[in-house]
Amino acid sequence: MSREKLQRPLPLFNRTYRPRRANHYHDQLNVWCDRLGTPHIEFQTTAFVDSSTGRPVYEAVPIFPRFDVCRPLDDYTRRRASKPRAQQASKWALRRAGLFDGIIRWDFERAFIGWTATPYVYGNREPLRDTRFTGRGSSIKDAKEDSARRLLTEGLCVIS
Q: How far is CA 22 from CA 19, 27, 106, in A?
A: 9, 11, 33
Dist CA 144 CA 137 (whole Å): 8
**Phi-psi category of 64—alpha, beta or left, where left has phi over 0 and alpha has psi -120 to 50?**
beta
Dist CA 125 CA 66 (whole Å): 6
Burial class (CB in 10 A: 0-12, 13-18, 19+), 85: middle
pLDDT in tens, the chain (160 residues): 444 444 433 444 445 666 677 679 999 888 888 877 677 888 999 999 999 999 999 999 998 766 655 667 888 899 999 999 999 999 888 888 877 655 677 788 998 889 998 887 766 677 887 888 899 999 999 999 999 999 888 877 766 5
Report the candidate in 72, 69, 66, 64 with the shortest Cα–Cα distance to residue 9.
69
pTM: 0.60
